[in-house]
Amino acid sequence: MLHIARFTFNPFQENTYVLHEGQEAIVVDPGCWNPSEQRELEDYLTQNALRPVRLVLTHAHIDHILGCAWMRDRYGLLPELHRADLPVLAAGERSATMYGLPYDPAPEPKAFITEGSTILLGKEELQVLFVPGHAPGHIAFFHPAGRFVVSGDVLFQNSIGRTDLPGGNMDTLLRSIREQLFPLGDDVTVYSGHGPETTIGRERKHNPFLRER
Please report, for the chain, the start and end positions of each structural domain, with discontinuous segments joined by +. Answer: 3-206
CATH number of 3-206: 3.60.15.10
Question: Quick check: pTM over 0.85?
Answer: yes
Tell me what the mean pLDDT of segment 50-72 comes to: 98
Cβ neighbours, 10 Å, residue 29 = 29
Tell me what the mean pLDDT of segment 90-97 comes to: 95
Cβ atoms of 108 and 78 closer than 8 Å: yes
Tell me what the mean pLDDT of segment 65-92 comes to: 98
Using a pLDDT cut of 70, give the percent of the chain over it.
99
Residue 32 has pLDDT above 70, yes or no: yes
Q: How far apart are CA 51 and CA 142, in angstroms?
A: 22
Residue 179's contacts (CB-CB under 8 Å, 6 or more residues apart) are none
Residue 213 has pLDDT above 90, yes or no: no
